[in-house]
Amino acid sequence: MKKIEKYHLFEVLITDVCNAEIVEYCAVFEKDGIKKEVPAYKRARDEYIVRFMPEDTGKWTYHIHLSGQSADGEFECVENTGNNHGPVLADGYHFRYADGSRFIPIGTTCYAWIHQPGKLQEETVKTLKAAPFNKIRMCIFPKSMPYNNNDPEHYPFRKNAGGEWDVQDLDFAFWDNLDQQMAELAQIGVEADLILFHPYDRWGFAALCQEDSLAYLEYCIARLSAYRNVWWSLANEYELVYQKSTSDWNAYGEMLKKRDPYGHLISIHNIFTLYPKRDWMTHCSIQSSDINHIAIWQKEYGLPVLIDECGYEGDIEYGWGNLSAFEMVHRFWWTVCRGGYCTHGETFHREDEVLWWAKGGKLYGESGKRISFLKELLYHLPGEGEAMIRPFGMNPNSDKEDAEAVKQNEHFQKLLDSLPEHKRDALISLTPTMISGDDYRLQYFGHTCPAFVGADLPRDGKYRVEVLDIWEMTRTLAVDGICGQARIGLPGKVGIAVLITRMEGDSLKIT
């Protein structure tokens, strides 16, 4: 009996099928009362494939019926190994793999890398393999904007005699290449955040009618959903896709939620205004540099928040593409210590116009290795932390607790209550940028330069304090074995963080 690893692809090829009418589900996979129905997709002129991703070990049987053709069989699903942890799922404000392993999204952006020549695609995968990034934002349709003006060799569809895209006339070379790259990304442990629509389009894909758009999505689901590393992003900057309405976007989200047999993550990315909360959303994919707002978005949506676009490290002429390396790293730390997750991008001017953010290739910036330093730290912390947003109700300049202080704080609270809501929300920026778990506290000071910071630690344990330099990538022991009130000396420079960890005997709970 054929053996397939849990969360790997199992495929059945059906030949000699001419223009089959694809029904919603044409294949049934069963095991011990578990039943999964999945669609087929057209792979070549007279060939169709059914793909299945088993999520439980044991013997699976299947029955496929497609345009009069039938196929039956069985296979054994065995345990997953290596970096195969299954699909990523939302878990509160965080993420986990299907097998329970932690997943901390450390993303990057290469919008049109699959539309470049083969050698450049190979170089992109090679670069990713050595980089810290475990998620990549990428477009299925080609993208047209400055530094990204080339025409790809292949498109998802071919045009009809009238010069319009025919979504039923597939260019299989395009989809075969996407398959190859999806498999390569899965092998190196990178999630593919697939952008389904976007406005930067001179070819007409953004203008597909709703019927054709839904047919395209059906094909994406049938062909791609069995990859464990798929995320669905309905759009990049949805507001600028003027041809589509809110009802259109909702139809796409609802289709993906209903038809994807594996429940992959679904989001929609904005340019100005976040898309209203919908049941099909699994997380927020946000373009904003207002990182202090993460707590507000978490409260409003009840979902994990990814700052998927906060600017790019580079030196091009556009304001969104000339952040310093330090600023890129700073925004990662700032986001993490506000309880969210951040995505990187790089836009250094090159005469050949091969910029990572658009076409992939090589990375030239200085932020990547420092983001790797943060990633290693986060994965070694004992569990996910929650942002510590101190509720305002006390005068932040008062450190007294006597009767007079209580009276003054009552007046202060009245002033707060009189403020418009957006003004009260803005006060989050005055709270410490900090996440805390059961046995640790990580505070980041950003562009400020304090000479010391106070800490009020529980007296029922002992704590170790380290001072971290996010640029120099150093961890310096400040004090060991303390509890209660403490004053921690700092170097008085930008880019400093403090990590306080609880000790057990002579050892830390983190390594």
Which tokens sit at 58? 């044991």
Q: Classify residue 246 by burial, with Cβ atoms within 10 Å: 0-12, 13-18, 19+.
A: exposed
Supply the CATH classification number for the domain 88-380: 3.20.20.80
Q: Which superfamily does 3-78 belong to?
A: Immunoglobulins (2.60.40.10)
d(CA 194, CA 197): 9
Give 282-332 as a DSSP string. -SEEEE-S-GGGHHHHHHHH-S-EEEEES--EE-SSSGGG-B-HHHHHHHH
Q: Which residue has 């796409």 as its token pair?
A: 252
pLDDT in tens, the chain (511 residues): 899 999 999 999 998 876 655 545 689 999 999 999 999 999 998 899 999 999 999 999 999 998 878 889 999 999 999 999 999 999 999 999 999 999 999 999 999 999 999 999 999 999 999 999 999 999 999 999 999 999 999 999 999 999 999 999 999 999 999 999 999 999 999 999 999 999 999 999 999 999 999 999 999 999 999 999 999 999 999 999 999 999 999 999 999 999 999 999 999 999 999 999 999 999 999 999 999 999 999 999 999 999 999 999 999 999 999 999 999 999 999 999 999 999 999 999 999 999 999 999 999 999 999 999 999 999 999 888 999 876 555 555 555 556 666 667 777 778 877 888 777 777 888 888 999 998 999 999 999 999 999 988 998 899 999 999 999 999 999 999 999 999 999 999 999 999 999 987 543 333 3
- Where in the chain do CATH 3.20.20.80 domains reside? 88-380
Q: Which residues touch 409 (CB under 8 Å, ≥6 apart)? A: 393, 394, 395, 398
Q: Which of 188, 193, 3, 7 is nearest to 97 (CA)?
A: 7
Torsions phi, psi of 345, nearest 5? -160, 160
- Where in the chain do CATH 2.60.40.3950 domains reside? 432-511
Q: Domain 432-511, what architecture? A: Sandwich (2.60)
- Where in the chain do CATH 2.60.40.10 domains reside? 3-78
